[in-house]
Structure 1
Amino acid sequence: MIPKFLKKRIFKAPVTTDSASTTDVHPIASKPYTKTPINQLYRKLSGQLLDVAVKPKLLGELPEFEADDQILRFYVLQDYSRSNSILIDLQTQEYNLPPALVGVNDAAHHIKENAAIIFLNHPHAKDNQLSPRLSRLVSAVLQYPELKVRLVPVSILWGRAPEKEDSLFKLLTADNWEDPSITKQLFNIGVMGRDTFVQFHPPQDLRTIINDSLKIDLAGNHILDSAVSETQSFETQNSELQSAHVKSSSMHSIDENNLDEAPKYTMVASADGNRELVRMLQQHLTVYLDKQRASMLGPDLSDRRNLVDKLVYSPAIKHAIETEAAETGTSVRDARSLARGYANEMVNDYSHSIIRGFYKFLTWLWTQLYDGVEVHHFERVRELATDYELVYVPCHRSHVDYLLLSYVIYKRGLSIPYIAAGDNLDVPVLGPILRGAVAFYIRRSFRGNALYTAVLREYMHTLITRNTPIEYFIEGGRSRSGRLLPPKMGMLAMTIHSQLRQTNKPVVFIPTYIGYERIMEGGTYVGELKGKPKESESLMGLLKVGRKIERIFGNVHLSFGKPLYLSDFMQKFDVSANSLPADRTDTPLDDKASAMVDNIGVKIMQHINKAAVVTPVSLLSLVLLSAPKAALDESSCREQIALYQGLAQQLAYSDDTVITDMSPQQIIDYGIKLKLIERTPHILGDIIQVAGKQAALLSYFRNNILHVFILLSFLAALVARNGRIERSRLNSIAEQLYPFLQGELFLYYPAHSLTGTLDKKVDSLLSHGLVVELGNGMLSVPESNSMCYQQLQVLATPVGQSLERYFMTLALLAQQGSGNLTENEVVDLCHLLGQRLSVLYADDIPDFFDRALFTSFISALTRLDYLQKDEATGVLTFDHRINDIAHHAKYVLTPDMMQILQQVASLDEDEITHAITEISNKKQRKFGRKR
């Protein structure tokens, strides 16, 4: 606590002084800054005392200043506060920024300010609370065209708890302290000092802000008229300027076509002039800081009980309750009670103490689990946070995902999103904690329950209209194979439904890639892919995971993809804003809106993959699992890694894709450190191979980046399997099979321009010597005993599994005939055949027979009209084109493999019946356990 005898010295001493006896030149902005010995003593004493009580945390990035000695820089704070002034001064000293509490003296432009801080709301301001310092700077900028002034808005939060609606405590914990409220300042320092946050926002050019304001106001012309009415000659004011240290301003003539042109004539107004202009600038800066504050804290909180009441008694839910009562024959009261129960199931219960506890715990946990948390492209999110409704749509790889993403967002200064979580996580102890950490729970299945759907839609609508950031996993569940799962459109449709009911802020989707180098659930995923029942979440399961904290999990990567603006899709699909009734939840989306939902879902998945991070572990996995027996001599391993890095860098999958900059040897050493691979010494050269029982786990990380190399692998396989092939033939086969690879791996290359993409990739293979051009459009493999030939064979391997699945599925369809199997039966049978094939003939890596992959292939066949599905029975019909697609497999698969696949897919009627019966019984038992 601060001693009483020093309180007056800290809070009553003037923050700035008009006198100047010494000069202090800052290394970044070397304009003269003046300060007196008294000011130096004040800064030192108050700063030291405040430094003891307050430990501010810096949010965001430090501002980047131009290396120009002639630029004057001022920090902009919303409200006058002695404690805030000292705090900003300490921060500028700590981070070597231009000083805040030092006088700014620019004799050439008649500027003499006692500090480099502008308070937008100053208790000593006259003229309707206009900032005196901002007024003087505006006048100087208008007077001198060459003067450069940069304003750096600064946000200071004494605590990051969102304010509660109608809270009495809000009066004591407000962030902004006015001059008389010394008690409040002491309360802030004493109570919130260890929970203080500072964020410096990007510098803004004052002249640009002025010009933008004039452009906006040009139609009214009242700013210009105000300045003209107060025009005086510079000579008449000169004596007043010298005594008051106040600089006159000039108003340039305004050309409506180009406000940035040189002025045609000059007008001079007093420093008290330009009131409307200064008021507009001050409003601009105030709104800017208000938006920044809202993006950091989120919307004001409503008490959970009140929120449930508002939901239940909203017009939309009233209608849903009446409909439920009429359809089920129950009373309105009973239906309302049921709706209230649904709302209590899902509504979160924000607790700032839980958030703070999680933040501290996770800060410790990540240092125990990971070597580092790498974040890419977060600046995109920060730029959008103030003006858009943010909807984070990450891939789902682990239970750690939502903790990690929220932690990264919170640490970088934005409010954490409300997370849609499956009700399987709403277990004792853990469930309430996650609910306090802004999780809201959703049932895994509620199809046919109209009232539950209505309550969930209305709750989502409430969050969106209150500008609450939201997060949901569009895949629905965690990927067990490392590939992206097909998108589930339910939450996405609800988001769009809300936006079409009422538009507040425009919605923007933030696709987010999360990549690990080891995952806690790795062993569980392998078991589930092999057929073990899924483990339900529980506190005991959480404790089991906790035992793994001492293990090494490498680095984890979060990469924020290119934002997807809902307004762009609405324009593309001709969907009108506010086209649905605001007081109803049951209005269906029309065909155009439904098509838009499907398109957005696919684009989100494609943008997640575009933001992929090619980590050392994923690259190592791709190389070794493509080699015979998952082993290479160390020199060959290094060369293959270098090849993959070179291919990925020469022809980047996307501008958002991040490639590890580790050297090949560092990557190998890193894999050994994580105990994923091992080095076997040998007199002819050490051998690098996958460590025991790690192959299945490494396939998970290989699949994370398979999409980056899949077309290169496909082209390599076409050349490698045929020895020679015409370039035109290669393109033709690739174009025929590309839609299936695109559907499986969410490739973003459009089919209509695929030829150009293929040509670039073939040229890349040629430049690396993996393919040889013979002339007349003929391509060939390199010499069979060369290193390039061996590298081509390894590169050709990854696409093989996908093509084997395709051929096996097509063979099954062809043998069973059109109109004999349903879609679900085909997927189930292919899953069983894949298991059998993997055990008998392959490496028993379970991601080969992942059911989601067969579902994706059947969906692609249906979308391209190779299959037709009877909506009533689900039976699939097809024609001879199925055999035509299978015919292309011979250009990639070996005859032996095709024979094996053909044999495995040969099932007689009794085998089909037995398999379908067993699968049905297994599903019923599984469903019974869930219930």
Structure 2
Amino acid sequence: MLGIDRPLLHAARKLLYLWVRTHVLPQEPASLELDPDKPVVYVLQRRFLSNLLVLSRETDAGGLPAALKPLAARRVRDSRSFFFLSRPRPWLFARGAPAYSSLMRRLVAAAHSDPTFDVQIVPVSILWGRAPDKEHSIWKLIFAESWGRQRAFRRLFTVLLHGRNTLVRFSAPLSLRAIADEDRDREVTLRKLARVLRAHFRHQREIAIGPDLSHRRTQLGGLLEAPRVRAAIDALAQDQGGGPAVLRRAQAQARSYAWEIASDYSYPVILIFRRFLTWLWTRLYDGVEVSNFDTVTSAAVDHEIIYVPCHRSHIDYLLLSYVVFNHGLMVPHIAAGVNLNLPLLGGFLRRGGAFFLRRSFKGNKLYAAVLNEYLHMMIAKGYPIEYFVEGGRSRTGRLLPPMGGMLSMTVQSFLRDSSRPIAFLPVYIGYEKLFEGRTYVGELMGRPKKKESLFDLLSSLRELKHNFGKVHVNFGEPIRLADVLAAQHADWRAEEVAEDARPAWLAAGIDELKARIANGINAAAVVDPVNLVSLVLLAAPRHALDAQQLARQLDACRRLAQAAPYAGRVQVTALPGTDIIAYCEKLKLLQRQTHALGDVLYFTPDDAVLTTYMRNNILHLYALPALIASLLTQNRTLNHKHLLRLAHAVYPFLRAELRLRWSDDEIDAAIGVCLHALSDMGWLVRSERDDVYAAPDILSDEYAQLALLGQALRPTLIRYFITLATLHQKGSGVITPAELEALCHLQAQRLSLLREFNAPEFFDKAIFRIFIDTLTQNGRAELREDGKIHFGEALQKASGEARFVLPIDVRQAILHMARADTDTGAPDDDARREAA
């Protein structure tokens, strides 16, 4: 035990912990699933007194078997229950067999002597500060955890400088019996156990501080020598006339692209960011709630992680890195738009792991080659990566259709070298109040998107005086790339794919990957107090409800999310309705009007517009129940077969707009779960004899609650009818998709003015575009060579079935507008100008 008596060790431990502060993973020791009937032996990688003292303290504090207690296994007795994997050799330059711990040797010998003997070997990683091995000379970086060897003098400074940022990770136990049974030779088992432990510690260090990095200039130099980049350089030089001078210019251009793109990860900057962000979150938010991070930890053991979060705010970049770093893993390298490469800020972001790429580089083959090779280099070296598959920030709160660019580059890199498995981690990020909310509203109203500038960034600091509630970060189910590819092409591993080749099955594989990522993000949504109040109150007339009615509806919607769960990863607030109301009043989102007959709670017009964003974060969770509610309140009774037929008619459009998770084969079962949940809540009445569902009595509280749920989906259904009615009035083969999109945008805008659908997202062009695309994809309409939309009876029938979904006054208002536009022709001109 390093030659020190146990009382002295305890005294040294108390002295050390006057300074040292640790972050221990896992936070719940029970998750290690230790067998109480088998002895536990801990193993530390590096032989330092500081490591032993930390191990001793954390096993005692965490309720684990004590590391300093004597080991009392059947065939092995020892004064302690730990050993060090690495031991110093007897001479400075000695060579020969590795020096194994005597306890490790005796344990292996006992396992070979007694086939029933077993112990649980628990590797414990202790990292004092975390930094990649890079070209900085900053004092703290010199003594941070790295891939280099440490001596006792260096370790002393490491503890002094980084003792307050110490990560302790207990890993799942290894069975000595399982390893010994693999081979009869004792020395072979000893070497195998040491090799397994070395690989484990190396991987734990890699996921915490990143792979062993070389000098940045060396990395980029190797990138420019890659065959793909060399070929692009030569091709550009040839296109420009050839010759040594032209070749040098092409090489310089490639080098410029590489430096424009590449990150410059810096641990000191990461520490600055961490301190700054801790302060920022405290000023802006009431906390950052993280769920299911154990998913990341488990996946990182044997996969390279690609984080694919939804994109709601510029804060997303910083938030996810902050969460990952605080949970003991390496900050990912983040794909950021070159618009964020601002003076000063761009340098900080680059050193925080950001690499910058242009929004569009179509036709620039050299830039594409450099970017592809840079991404491949990072993937091959095992760097965790983060990018936003939506391509840009959502302005409405809905998940945008995933883009395939970065996904395609990632998949093609994996096809080149699949030795390191890749797992995509969908991440839901939800804000209770959005930093950019008013900017998004302005853009939806038609204001041009403003270019980012340092001045705007500094101006936004004024928002620090406001309270933005909590932020919720929930990690979805990992998506293993190998599984996705195998589902599309079982023999993909055996097939050699050239660097620039795109196999015929690849496009379908990327489409499947996009769908799984979108489903994974939506399946990790968080129902928080703000988005739940937004869902309910925006469905009410004038965005106002009696306080008691609002509390009851909030409680009912919480129960519905649990009774008809969208997915197992969805998190639902535990606050009851009255507490949710109090919480939103504290955030100054809800206004209260006192009244003798009962207080009324409402949104101001401005807050009603802003909270549509929050409602849309979770609208997909309630889409099916709300559709059923809308059908039953409109028709009062429907038999099961008719209800399913109407739901099937609407579902493809809901699925495309809200990225719903169920396939056509799964939707009937999902509707069945919703019907059962609504029936149990008393919101539906089912007649078993004739299989008919009916709404409750129209004067009952249950009917009012069902109607309010149905109203949540009403703006969506109205948009669909606007499109169908407009297309039907124009006629087949008359209008292009762009013209129809622009005309529907204008009509929805006008309807919102006339009927108080108070939200610019109601007439968002992108949503109409999705609906029009879905019409052609599911065969309701056809886009022919003339560029016009052609349709037949199927579309006319769909338009006619709106009577089962929407009230007659709404249908009449829309049809009146559609006929008026056809008669006057003036809006057509506006639509053509917008389409152009």
Query: Taking structure 1 as the reference length, what is the TM-score of the superposition?
Result: 0.84
Out of 547-556 and 433-442, give the one that drifted further.
547-556
Structure 1 segment 220-259 matched on structure 2, within 5 A: 223-224=183-184, 226=185
Alpha-carbon contact 2:552-2:577 (below 8 Å) kept: yes
Matched residue, 1:270: none
Matched residue, 2:27: 61
Work out which of the residue numbers 755, 779, 783 in structure 2 matches 1:865. 779
Out of 415-424 and 681-690, give the one that drifted further.
681-690
Work out which of the residue numbers 446, 457, 464 in structure 2 matches 1:542. 457
Offset at residue 836 of structure 1 (A):
1.7
Task: Evaluate the alpha carbon distance shift between residue 117 and residue 105 of structure 1 in structure 2; reply closer, same or farther with a 3 A threshold.
Answer: closer
> Does residue 164 in structure 1 map to residue 80 in structure 2?
no
Matched residue, 1:113: 78
Distance (whole Å) between structure 1 residues aligned to residue 428 and residue 632 of structure 2: 33
Work out which of the residue numbers 552, 561, 568 in structure 2 matches 1:639. 552
Distance (whole Å) between structure 2 residues aligned to residue 652 and residue 161 of structure 1: 42
Task: Evaluate the alpha carbon distance shift between residue 790 and residue 813 of structure 1 in structure 2; reply closer, same or farther with a 3 A threshold.
Answer: same
Work out which of the residue numbers 836, 849, 856 in structure 1 matches 2:770. 856
Distance (whole Å) between structure 2 residues aligned to residue 319 and residue 177 of structure 1: 37
Work out which of the residue numbers 700, 713, 717 in structure 2 matches 1:786. 700
Offset at residue 525 of structure 1 (A):
1.2
Task: Evaluate the alpha carbon distance shift between residue 528 and residue 172 of structure 1 in structure 2; reply closer, same or farther with a 3 A threshold.
Answer: closer
Alpha-carbon contact 2:376-2:413 (below 8 Å) kept: yes
Matched residue, 2:737: 823
2:464 aligns to what SS in structure 1? coil
Distance (whole Å) between structure 2 residues aligned to residue 913 and residue 626 of structure 1: 32
Q: Deviations over 1:747-790 (max 9, x none)?
A: 11121132222222112222211112244122222111111111
Distance (whole Å) between structure 2 residues aligned to residue 277 and residue 850 of structure 1: 65
Distance (whole Å) between structure 1 residues aligned to residue 276 and residue 494 of structure 2: 43
Work out which of the residue numbers 665, 680, 688 in structure 1 matches 2:578. 665
Out of 420-429 and 121-130, give the one that drifted further.
121-130
Distance (whole Å) between structure 1 residues aligned to residue 608 and residue 149 of structure 2: 63
Alpha-carbon contact 2:147-2:212 (below 8 Å) kept: no
Q: Deviations over 1:74-97 (max 9, x none)?
A: 221112222222232233344444
Distance (whole Å) between structure 2 residues aligned to residue 95 and residue 544 of structure 1: 46
Offset at residue 110 of structure 1 (A):
4.7
Alpha-carbon contact 2:131-2:144 (below 8 Å) kept: no
> Does residue 487 in structure 1 map to residue 452 in structure 2?
no
Matched residue, 2:211: 299
Matched residue, 2:813: 900
Task: Evaluate the alpha carbon distance shift between residue 474 and residue 66 of structure 1 in structure 2; reply closer, same or farther with a 3 A threshold.
Answer: closer
Q: Which runs of 5+ in 1 are unaligned?
A: 1-13, 18-37, 215-222, 227-273, 922-931
Matched residue, 1:134: 104
Distance (whole Å) between structure 2 residues aligned to residue 624 and residue 756 of structure 1: 29
1:160 aligns to what SS in structure 2? coil
2:427 aligns to what SS in structure 1? strand
Alpha-carbon contact 2:630-2:707 (below 8 Å) kept: yes
Work out which of the residue numbers 469, 473, 485 in structure 2 matches 1:570. 485
Q: Deviations over 1:525-565 (max 9, x none)?
A: 11111111212212222223222223222211111111111
- Residue type of the alignment partner of 2:779: D
Distance (whole Å) between structure 2 residues aligned to residue 175 and residue 343 of structure 1: 26
Offset at residue 178 of structure 1 (A):
7.8
1:109 aligns to what SS in structure 2? coil
Alpha-carbon contact 1:79-1:177 (below 8 Å) kept: no
> Does residue 84 in structure 1 map to residue 54 in structure 2?
no
Alpha-carbon contact 1:503-1:578 (below 8 Å) kept: no
> Does residue 801 in structure 1 map to residue 715 in structure 2?
yes
Distance (whole Å) between structure 2 residues aligned to residue 442 and residue 69 of structure 1: 53
Out of 399-408 and 166-175, give the one that drifted further.
166-175
Distance (whole Å) between structure 1 residues aligned to residue 321 and residue 532 of structure 2: 27
Distance (whole Å) between structure 2 residues aligned to residue 172 and residue 605 of structure 1: 42
Task: Evaluate the alpha carbon distance shift between residue 862 and residue 326 of structure 1 in structure 2; reply closer, same or farther with a 3 A threshold.
Answer: farther
- Residue type of the alignment partner of 1:474: V
1:151 aligns to what SS in structure 2? strand
- Residue type of the alignment partner of 2:773: S
> Does residue 357 in structure 1 map to residue 272 in structure 2?
yes
Matched residue, 2:93: none
Structure 1 segment 875-886 matched on structure 2, within 5 A: 875-886=788-799
Task: Evaluate the alpha carbon distance shift between residue 874 and residue 94 of structure 1 in structure 2; reply closer, same or farther with a 3 A threshold.
Answer: farther
Q: Deviations over 1:688-747 (max 9, x none)?
A: 222452101111111111111111111111111012222210111111221111111111
Distance (whole Å) between structure 1 residues aligned to residue 196 and residue 391 of structure 2: 42
Out of 664-673 and 773-782, give the one that drifted further.
773-782
Matched residue, 1:51: 17
Task: Evaluate the alpha carbon distance shift between residue 400 and residue 171 of structure 1 in structure 2; reply closer, same or farther with a 3 A threshold.
Answer: closer
- Residue type of the alignment partner of 1:316: R
Work out which of the residue numbers 343, 358, 362 in structure 2 matches 1:443. 358
Q: Deviations over 1:43-99 (max 9, x none)?
A: 30x224433454444354353266876442222111222222223223334444433
Task: Evaluate the alpha carbon distance shift between residue 192 and residue 634 of structure 1 in structure 2; reply closer, same or farther with a 3 A threshold.
Answer: closer
Alpha-carbon contact 1:642-1:664 (below 8 Å) kept: yes
1:705 aligns to what SS in structure 2? helix
Distance (whole Å) between structure 2 residues aligned to residue 283 and residue 167 of structure 1: 33
Work out which of the residue numbers 329, 336, 341 in structure 2 matches 1:421. 336
Calculate percent identity across the aligned residue pairs: 39
Structure 1 segment 574-593 matched on structure 2, within 5 A: 574=489, 576-577=492-493, 579=495, 584=499, 587-593=500-506
Distance (whole Å) between structure 2 residues aligned to residue 903 and residue 343 of structure 1: 58
Task: Evaluate the alpha carbon distance shift between residue 506 and residue 166 of structure 1 in structure 2; reply closer, same or farther with a 3 A threshold.
Answer: farther
Offset at residue 149 of structure 1 (A):
2.6
Distance (whole Å) between structure 1 residues aligned to residue 198 and residue 470 of structure 2: 40
Alpha-carbon contact 1:721-1:894 (below 8 Å) kept: yes
Structural RMSD (CA): 2.5
Structure 1 segment 548-559 matched on structure 2, within 5 A: 548-559=463-474
Offset at residue 404 of structure 1 (A):
0.7
Work out which of the residue numbers 166, 179, 186 in structure 2 matches 1:196. 166
Matched residue, 1:678: 591
Q: Which runs of 5+ in 2 are unaligned?
A: 91-95
Alpha-carbon contact 1:71-1:147 (below 8 Å) kept: no
Offset at residue 105 of structure 1 (A):
4.3
Distance (whole Å) between structure 2 residues aligned to residue 302 and residue 870 of structure 1: 55
Matched residue, 1:235: none
Q: Deviations over 1:198-246 (max 9, x none)?
A: 22223334334444xx1xxxxxxxx31x3xxxxxxxxxxxxxxxxxxxx
Distance (whole Å) between structure 2 residues aligned to residue 116 and residue 554 of structure 1: 47
Alpha-carbon contact 1:346-1:440 (below 8 Å) kept: yes
- Residue type of the alignment partner of 2:234: E
Distance (whole Å) between structure 1 residues aligned to residue 119 and residue 835 of structure 2: 73
Q: Deviations over 1:246-290 (max 9, x none)?
A: xxxxxxxxxxxxxxxxxxxxxxxxxxxx22112211211111111
Distance (whole Å) between structure 2 residues aligned to residue 917 and residue 850 of structure 1: 17
Distance (whole Å) between structure 2 residues aligned to residue 604 and residue 739 of structure 1: 19
> Does residue 832 in structure 1 map to residue 746 in structure 2?
yes
Structure 1 segment 587-602 matched on structure 2, within 5 A: 587-602=500-515
Out of 745-754 and 328-337, give the one that drifted further.
328-337
Distance (whole Å) between structure 2 residues aligned to residue 75 and residue 783 of structure 1: 66
Distance (whole Å) between structure 2 residues aligned to residue 348 and residue 875 of structure 1: 46
Offset at residue 818 of structure 1 (A):
2.8
Matched residue, 2:2: 15
Task: Evaluate the alpha carbon distance shift between residue 504 and residue 105 of structure 1 in structure 2; reply closer, same or farther with a 3 A threshold.
Answer: closer
Alpha-carbon contact 2:522-2:659 (below 8 Å) kept: yes
Distance (whole Å) between structure 2 residues aligned to residue 326 and residue 876 of structure 1: 44
Distance (whole Å) between structure 2 residues aligned to residue 754 and residue 674 of structure 1: 38
> Does residue 652 in structure 1 map to residue 565 in structure 2?
yes
Offset at residue 119 of structure 1 (A):
0.9
Distance (whole Å) between structure 2 residues aligned to residue 913 and residue 633 of structure 1: 43
Task: Evaluate the alpha carbon distance shift between residue 555 and residue 121 of structure 1 in structure 2; reply closer, same or farther with a 3 A threshold.
Answer: same
Alpha-carbon contact 1:419-1:440 (below 8 Å) kept: yes
Out of 394-403 and 182-191, give the one that drifted further.
182-191
> Does residue 711 in structure 1 map to residue 617 in structure 2?
no
